[in-house]
């Protein structure tokens, strides 16, 4: 069950914890001439300023201590400066050199069209230990027509003040969008963290092209000061419609966005009593590529586009040397089988898998196409990545310290039917009879494993045991079909569907059966006829293999089937909020949600985008923020507030 943290409204004693610093300065060219409209940005913070006609700027609200400043101006090479701000007011003169862009080679010029850019939207500007960061990532592309040719994997990391990775997630990207969630550990130290998001392919263009955003984590006894509304994005009531001006406690709120163009949008609603309104990086300001970036050369071309879970491995023989072999990999549930040949040194790479959490892969290597001698082992290579080196700043907002904690655990967000039980240990004896029912519609032939000659793999053991089954291993992979299917169309497969424990397995029937050790098999059921109960897949017959119970579990480790474990994508949580219109909702639990509503994929209903949620138990104002991208690739930001009364 997901744990949520909620605010407890109790008397507080406050004192100011941070002071803010102002940086003044001038930006000039090499000859000392002032540069107007130069942009000065505090990296990882939502703070920026522009120079006036005299090249003068004032950047306020900076935290004391070490901060990294980036200065850009059209026609000039950007610079980054690491400064240590100690006094209330600091002055700085920054000199920019004219940008001399090299003539790009045709390869580099083409590669620049494949640039990607990530932006991550979060539900809140800051968090407490134990809370969930709800996030949505959008990818922009230098050439939108190449979007389907690019990355399907995004890495999201949380880095501490020492640039150490505290949390890392691998998220699946679909059509340039993804939704995710990060559970902050209860023991996570308070401080400012930096969220970093990138694709592997983006390494070709330098780590400065990654997405960076400060994620403050406050101590449980700390509370943030809200900024004045003049320092925040202006509210837009014309673009956001509600049924009434004010709502009561635990009432349903319906929101409509009547003029929102077609696109992909994310919506968050937060309680301003608990989540102070402070500036954040906005999608609308950071969506476009920086001017001139498409004219600069990549830093390298050694990182490939990831189409899914990717890993690199090496086959090592009994002599501890790499060797070229035919390698077969199959998932523990036998839902996917891969077969390929390693290079002459035993190296291989798999790209494009999609699975969540950890999965065990079993493998077998053969010395030749017709050999049944399985041997050797696989060594999975560790990806080498440069360690991040960031100047993580402090908070850009003031906080107060209270005598009482700001958050406590709440269980009400679990579904009503969920009951928290004590942990128990369950033991059971093996059931000798198969737990699987068999082929739907009945089998034409059932063959038990003890009635087969043991040739090591199942494919060769089936020779001559099933009437009408033809096995031809003069081709690679071996061809398997029933004689009835030989007259099928030359443009369609004549191979039967292979089931393992009632689960259809994709891939060549010959490869699947050849990779199965007959010692793991309990029985084989066969249906030679067209089986409409399996749809089009059953047109050429069915070969159903049923494995012995616990075939992957052996009493002696040295007898275990060779395997390795891989981590797949992180599966995001599902945001749950109470439904007070539901009679099963437990209304006796206090409702102090800080995030009232989070929808990473707002849907269009009828002629407009709409959503609904219930208010909580604290009167005050709710902050409603919508961010997203239109189908014309234009960023959108809308913000308004909602009043809740007793």
Point out the domain boundary residue: 501, 519, 547: 547
Indicate whether 368 and 452 sit together in one domain. no
Model pLDDT, residue 207: 93
Could you report the per-residue pLDDT of 566-590, keeping only the tens digit for each?
999 999 999 998 999 998 888 888 8
Contacts 24+ apart (CB under 8 A), 91-95: 91/23, 91/24, 91/25, 92/23, 92/24, 92/25, 93/25, 93/26, 93/27, 93/28, 94/25, 94/26, 94/27, 94/28, 94/38, 94/40, 95/27, 95/28, 95/29, 95/30, 95/32
Listed residue (264, 45, 51) closest to 176, CA to CA? 264
Residue 174 lies in a domain: no
Give me the domain span that covers residue 367: 309-385+561-567
Model pLDDT, residue 252: 95
Residue 54 lies in a domain: no
Q: How far is CA 386 from CA 151, 163, 207, 389, in A?
A: 20, 12, 9, 9
Indicate whether 368 and 453 sit together in one domain. no
Residue by residue, DSSP assigns 308-342 as SEEEEEEEE-TTSSB---EEEEEETTSSBEEEEE-
Q: Give the chain's mean pLDDT.
A: 84
Residues with Cβ within 8 Å of residue 464, at least 6 apart in sequence: none
Could you report the per-residue pLDDT of 95-117, keeping only the tens digit for each?
999 988 888 999 999 999 999 99
Model pLDDT, residue 12: 34
Could you report the per-residue pLDDT of 21-51, keeping only the tens digit for each?
899 999 999 999 999 999 999 999 999 999 9
Residue 366 lies in a domain: yes
Residue 318 lies in a domain: yes
Model pLDDT, residue 17: 43
Q: Cβ(553)–Cβ(543) under 8 Å? A: no
Listed residue (472, 452, 459) closest to 372, CA to CA? 459
- Model pTM score: 0.78
**Interstrand relation of 222-224 and 177-183 (parallel, antiparallel or unpaired):** unpaired
Residue 123 lies in a domain: no
Residue 484 lies in a domain: yes
Total domains in the fold of the chain? 2
Model pLDDT, residue 314: 93
Model pLDDT, residue 550: 61
Model pLDDT, residue 416: 42
Listed as ranges, residues in the chain with pLDDT below 70 are 1-19, 230-238, 332-334, 367-374, 405-436, 454-456, 484-492, 550-561
**Interstrand relation of 89-95 and 76-85 (parallel, antiparallel or unpaired):** unpaired
Listed residue (5, 64, 1) closest to 220, CA to CA? 5
| CATH label of the domain that carries residue 529 | 2.170.130.10
Model pLDDT, residue 432: 43
| CATH label of the domain that carries residue 373 | 2.60.40
Model pLDDT, residue 430: 39
Beta bridge partner(s), residue 545: 500, 524
């Amino acid at each position: 069950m997901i744990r949520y943290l909620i605010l407890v409204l109790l008397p507080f004693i406050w004192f100011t914890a941070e002071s803010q610093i102002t940086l003044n300065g001038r930006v000039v060219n090499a000859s000392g001439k002032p540069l107007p409209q130069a942009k000065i940005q505090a990296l990882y913070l939502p703070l920026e300023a522009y120079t006036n006609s005299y090249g003068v700027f004032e950047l306020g609200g900076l935290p004391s201590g070490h901060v990294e400043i980036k200065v850009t101006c059209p026609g000039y090479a950007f610079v980054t400066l690491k400064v240590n701000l100690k006094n209330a007011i600091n002055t700085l003169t920054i000199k920019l050199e004219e940008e001399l862009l090299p003539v790009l080679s045709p390869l580099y010029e083409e590669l620049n069209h494949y640039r990607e850019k990530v932006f991550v939207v979060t539900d809140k500007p800051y968090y407490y230990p134990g809370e969930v960061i709800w996030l949505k990532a959008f990818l922009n592309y230098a050439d939108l027509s190449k979007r389907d040719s690019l990355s399907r994997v995004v890495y999201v990391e949380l880095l501490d003040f020492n640039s150490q990775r505290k949390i890392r997630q691998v998220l699946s990207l679909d059509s340039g969008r993804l939704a995710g969630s990060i559970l902050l550990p209860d023991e996570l130290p308070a401080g400012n963290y930096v969220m970093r998001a990138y694709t592997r392919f983006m390494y070709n263009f330098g780590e400065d092209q990654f997405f960076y955003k400060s994620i403050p984590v406050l101590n449980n006894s700390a509370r943030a000061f809200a900024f004045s509304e003049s320092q925040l994005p202006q509210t837009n009531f014309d673009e956001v419609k509600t049924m009434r001006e004010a709502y009561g406690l635990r009432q349903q709120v319906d929101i409509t966005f009547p003029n929102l163009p077609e696109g992909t949008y994310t919506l968050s609603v937060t309680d301003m009593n608990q989540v102070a309104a402070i500036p954040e990086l906005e999608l609308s300001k950071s969506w476009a590529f920086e001017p001139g970036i498409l004219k600069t050369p990549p830093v390298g071309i050694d990182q490939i586009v990831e189409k899914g879970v990717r890993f690199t491995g090496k086959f090592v023989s009994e002599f501890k040397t790499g060797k070229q072999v035919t390698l077969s990999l199959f998932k523990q549930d036998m839902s996917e089988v891969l077969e390929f040949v390693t290079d002459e040194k035993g190296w291989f790479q798999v790209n494009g898998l999609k699975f969540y959490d950890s999965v065990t892969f079993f493998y077998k290597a053969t010395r030749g196409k017709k050999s049944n001698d399985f041997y050797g082992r696989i060594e999975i290579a560790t990806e080498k990545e440069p360690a991040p080196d960031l100047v993580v700043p402090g908070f850009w907002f003031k906080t107060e310290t209270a005598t009482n904690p700001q958050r406590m655990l709440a269980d009400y967000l679990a579904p009503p039917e969920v009951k928290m039980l004590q942990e128990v240990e369950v033991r059971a004896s093996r059931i000798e009879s198969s737990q699987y029912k068999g082929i739907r519609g009945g089998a034409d032939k059932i063959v038990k494993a003890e009635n087969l000659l043991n040739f090591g793999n199942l494919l060769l053991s089936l020779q001559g045991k099933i009437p009408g089954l033809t096995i031809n291993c003069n081709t690679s992979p071996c061809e398997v079909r029933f004689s009835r299917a030989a007259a099928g169309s030359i443009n369609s497969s004549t191979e039967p569907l292979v089931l393992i424990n009632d689960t259809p397995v994709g891939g060549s029937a010959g490869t699947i059966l050849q990779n199965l050790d007959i010692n793991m098999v309990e029985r084989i059921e066969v249906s030679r006829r067209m089986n409409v109960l399996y749809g089009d897949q059953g047109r050429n017959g069915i070969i159903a293999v049923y494995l012995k119970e616990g075939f992957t579990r052996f009493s002696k480790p040295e007898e275990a089937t060779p395997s390795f474990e891989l981590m797949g994508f992180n599966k995001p949580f599902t945001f749950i909020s109470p439904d007070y219109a539901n009679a099963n909702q437990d209304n006796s639990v206090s409702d102090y949600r800080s995030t009232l509503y989070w929808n990473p994929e707002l849907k269009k209903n009828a002629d407009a985008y709409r959503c609904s949620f219930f208010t909580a138990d604290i009167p005050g104002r709710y902050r409603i923020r919508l961010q997203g991208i239109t189908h014309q690739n234009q960023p959108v930001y809308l913000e308004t507030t909602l009043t809740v009364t007793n």
